[in-house]
Chains A and B, each alone.
Chain A
Amino acid sequence: MTTYIIRRLILGIFILIIVTLIVFFAMRLLPGDPLVIFMGQQASSGSMSAEQMESLRHEYGLDKPVMMQYFNWLGGLLRGNLGTSIYYHEDVGKLLANRFPITLHLGVLAFIIANVLGILLGLLAGIRRGTWIDTVSTTLANIGITIPVFWLGILMIYTLGLKLRWIIPFLGYTSPFDDFGMNTKQIIMPVICLAITGLAFTARQMRSAMLEVIRQDYIRTAWSKGLKERVIIIRHALKNSLIPVITLMGIGLGMVFGGAVLVETVFAIPGIGRLLVTSIFAQDYVVIQSGTLVIAFIIILSNLLVDISYGWLDPRIRYG
């Protein structure tokens, strides 16, 4: 198990390095002057003199060779220096630190709901195949996979917010430490939107994994021993059917961050997704670079955790 973990860790670090290369060179592969790209309209409109451009070029280290720039940037990252935002004129680390907890708050809630409900629905659908609960669960999963999350948000705002007036206010974000009631009202709809896709995928995966597992010989043996259904499902079937679902959790986390970009736009929530979209329109490449990198880091780390727990759940993988 230890060698397995060490091997996975080395692999993870290797992948992280490739990710930094991708993010860094995505910006450098562009034709044209990186400074003009970095500074956006300011530089291209010609409002800056040649000396100003030169001093800025020196300040950002853009007069050095590309590999040097890469290692300088990497060194800065390791020391926690993510650069200064061009649009917000703020330290990017601080900018991310302010917005990250908001996305994390919504994301973690959505992630928990998606997995708990998804596993439960899939499990029930699997062991009660062909009954009404299977129909409900499968229909819900089909809707969840196909509905555009931003549109679901708009539908909910229209019905629950504007017509029925159940959930008001429905836009913005208030810290739960300032006003818990307000916060709860504001996050209900965004969390549902963020959870729905993951929930649907998990439920579907869980159902088919369950159908696969309950056909196995050892489950038949458990039945013939005269065990109760509850014991068979929880003690014998659940662990094995969870393996593919856990793989999906790593992807699910990515979906939460991907969805956050859309959901935060619909509900005007100042999270990291909204920040990235704003930065794209403001052509603030420093924020885009660091923001995507941080999210990619989190996802790779969680996939590492998934891999490790995978090896723990299924020893065949560890030795394979």
Chain B
Amino acid sequence: MVEKATTIQEFVEAPPRVSEWRRFGRVFFQRKLVVFGLVVLSILIISAIFAPWLAPYDPYRGDLSDSLVQPSGKYLLGTDIQGRDTLSRLIYGSRTALLVGFVTTITATILGIVLGLVAGYFGGITNMVIMRAMDALMGFPMLLLALLIAAVLGSGIQNVIIALSVATLPGYARVMHGLTLSVRENDYVLAERAMGSSNMRTMVGHILPNTLPPMIVLVTLQLGSIILAEAGLSFLGIGIRPPGAAWGSMVNDGYRFLVTNPVLSFAPGLAIMLVVFAFNMVGDGLRDALDPRLRGIL
């Protein structure tokens, strides 16, 4: 009788099964700033997709008789020297920021993962060549390297993407290299090798999946700094050709009219800051939810 009660007791005390997704969601949505970041990013994505419907005016061709108008009911954020509506250009600028941010991230991440994985897995001379080349690339400040490449390739959005991809690539490769080195030492990798798996199968099937959570976090955290670097390049006038709208070049264009129309450079700068902040917050949230051990490392 007593024995039976004990078994029931044990059964009741067993921890309830919590779905991984629910646990992820609970940690992720816990912090208000993460939610704020998500809201900002949603607005950004919506405005990028629906720009033609959201923008009240043509972002590329302005009404010259409405040049440098102060913010008013007609133009919520005023107009620039060519009479173009600042708000409309801001909305179209979100396309540039997102396009450069995402395409650069995807390119650099894939290349970085491949290089880091191969270097870490094979070791030896392969490792030496790849990682020292990455060290050499890291010897340049990110913005300067991007500047050098953009100078060589000329302006244009695809060249900005190439430049920023090369400039951010070593960071991903280095983190991936470190992760591969540590995952490679696990017993299940040894077991896989003992069963005669090919190198490719071991790398892609067993090492790669276990490095993904920290890589996802790094990618999100890096997105902000890529957008910041793109803004820097276009502020310097390298990057998106006129009349294309990029927030960085809008800040620079507005700088000349700082005394009379400060909103021209204040508004796009604030947009850059909000978006970078949002990406960082979402990255922090992902890090805490996916792998709390990473706190402070990434």
Contacts and interface: CB of A to CB of B under 8 A. Distances in A.
A211 B236 CA distance: 39
A211 B296 contact: yes
A87 to B, nearest CB: 13
Contact of B280 (A145, A209, A285): A145
A154 interface: yes
B139 A150 contact: no
Interface in A153-182: 154-155, 157-158, 162
Interface stretch (B20-28, B59-67, B209-217, B227-235): B227-235
A15 B224 contact: no
Contacts of B295: 208
Report which residue of B228, B231, B235, B276 has the largest number of chain A beta carbons within 10 angstroms of its beta carbon.
B235
A313 interface: no
Given A262-B232, A280-B238, A292-B144, A155 B137 contact: no
A261 B280 contact: no
Nearest to B152: A26
Given A15-B135, A15-B136, A158-B262, A261 B269 contact: no
B266 to A, nearest CB: 7
Residue in B152, B228, B276, B280 with the greatest tally of chain A CB atoms within 10 Å:
B152
A212 B296 CA distance: 8
Interface in A190-247: 205, 208-209, 211-212
A149 B273 CA distance: 10
A62 interface: no
Contact of B136 (A19, A157, A158, A261): A19
B277 A157 contact: no
B43 interface: no
B150 to A, nearest CB: 8
Contact of A157 (B151, B235, B258, B276): B258
A180 B81 CA distance: 38
Given A158-B262, A261-B147, A300 B251 contact: no
Contacts of A14: 132
Contact of A147 (B149, B262, B273): B273
B276 A146 contact: yes
A155 B224 CA distance: 21
Interface size class of A (residues with CB under 8 A): 35 or more
B173 to A, nearest CB: 14
B107 to A, nearest CB: 18
**Per DSSP, are chain B's interface residues mostly helix, strand or loop, or mixed?**
helix
B76 interface: no
Given A154-B258, A296-B140, A288 B151 contact: yes
B231 A148 contact: yes
Contacts of B258: 154, 157-158, 162
**Which of A23, A148, A209, A300 is the most central at the interface, judged by chain B CB atoms within 10 Å of its CB?**
A148
Contacts of B151: 280, 285, 288
Interface in B226-277: 228, 231-232, 235-238, 248, 251-252, 255, 258-259, 262, 265-266, 269, 272-273, 276-277
A265 interface: yes
Contacts of A303: 139
Nearest to B153: A30
B111 interface: no
A295 B236 CA distance: 19
B149 A26 contact: yes
B256 to A, nearest CB: 11
| Closest A-B pairs by Cβ, 5 of them | A208-B296, A151-B269, A258-B141, A258-B143, A18-B136
8 contacts: A15-B132, A26-B149, A27-B152, A208-B296, A261-B147, A261-B232, A265-B236, A277-B236
Given A26-B148, A157-B258, A162-B258, 17 more contacts: A11-B132, A22-B136, A26-B152, A148-B235, A150-B232, A150-B248, A151-B269, A151-B273, A158-B258, A211-B296, A258-B141, A277-B236, A280-B150, A288-B148, A295-B140, A296-B139, A300-B139
